[in-house]
Amino acid sequence: MDKRPIGIFDSGLGGLSAVKAVLKYLPEEDIIYFGDTQRVPYGSRSEKTIEAYAKDDIAFLEQFNCKLIMAACGTVSSVAVNATSGIKELFVGVVKPAAAAAVNATKNNKIGVMATWATINSGAYTKEIKALEPKAEVFGVSCPVLVTLVENNWIDTDDYISREIIRRYIDPLLKDGVDTIILGCTHFPHLAPIIQSVAGSGVKLIDNGFEAVMQAKKILEESSLTNEKGRKGTAQYYISDKTQNFSMIAKTLLGIDISDKVTFKELTEKF
């Protein structure tokens, strides 16, 4: 048994898709979440910048003595490999678990990946999928506008504009005949109901945040590092800018009010 918290980070609200899965599947665990709201979005930036941001995020979480750190960010998991490979705690990213789930789910070996520009450009998902299933065909589409939709809470299934934007991104994947789509940016599972209704029920969506949490659960259980069963874990949320919206949108995304658990922490402070 290990009482230390799990540290989770993302550029903003996206990583809450992983938090949601921890609350449900690892309810006994304490969570420290860091959303770099000061510098979101990450996905349109250079490798050098993303590496530097990832290092700061990890350094921030390391002050909490975490037993496991999760990059609940497809962009960091794909691009900032130098930053994440240096982590001294147990580490889980979202790319490998999502790639494995997609290979498992596809029937026709045609897998779509919706992610940020930096993630698609890195080819990270393609590499992981091909390593598991060389016959798989991978079709990537970078969807930067979807990050903005989530950061602005345009996630309602009835939202006509969001729907049309999603259609524009998904149509090429459907023409390519994919039967599985990886939501390769952790912001995108928050749009899953719209994406599913546009893609149709024949397409299986892979939630990378959820898959990363399942991987973390496995690692913690196998190493006997889970917290005491039956206890109720706590969660603290830190953000690097006083984004008024964070608590409000988080309430929609998580279905709980976290406003008294959100702390503003300037990244210029020494950790």
Measured distance CA(167)–CA(162) in Å, rounded: 9
Closest CA to 177 of 100, 109, 121, 125: 109
Q: Does 10 bind ligand DGL (CB under 6 A)?
A: yes
185 carries an active-site annotation: yes
143 carries an active-site annotation: no
Binding residues for ligand DGL, rule CB under 6 A, total 16
Least distance (Å) between residue 221 CB and ligand DGL: 25
Q: Does 74 bind ligand DGL (CB under 6 A)?
A: yes
Q: Which stretch binds ligand DGL (CB under 6 A): 36-44, 122-130, 229-237, 246-254?
A: 36-44
Closest CA to 119 of 28, 53, 43: 43
* Cα angle, residue 107 at apex, residues 102 and 109 outer, rounded to 5°: 65
Q: Does 119 bind ligand DGL (CB under 6 A)?
A: yes
Q: Does 73 bind ligand DGL (CB under 6 A)?
A: yes
Cβ-contact 114, 183 below 8 angstroms: yes
Measured distance CA(243)–CA(237) in Å, rounded: 13
Burial 103-134 (b: 16+ CB within 10 A, else e): bebbeebbbbbbbbebbbebebbbebbbeebe
Q: Closest CB to ligand DGL among 11 and 227?
A: 11
Please, which of residues 157-186 interact with ligand DGL by CB under 6 A?
Answer: 185-186
| C-alpha torsion sign, points 157, 199, 115, 190 | positive
Q: Does 142 bind ligand DGL (CB under 6 A)?
A: no
Q: Does 40 bind ligand DGL (CB under 6 A)?
A: yes
Distance between the two ends of the chain, CA-based, in angstroms?
Answer: 27
Q: Which of 21, 70, 73, 258 is catalytic?
A: 73
Q: Site for ligand DGL (CB under 6 A): which residue of 5, 7, 14, 140?
A: 14
Binding-site ranges for ligand DGL (CB under 6 A): 10-11, 14, 40-43, 73-75, 116, 119, 147, 185-187
Residues designated as active site: 73, 185
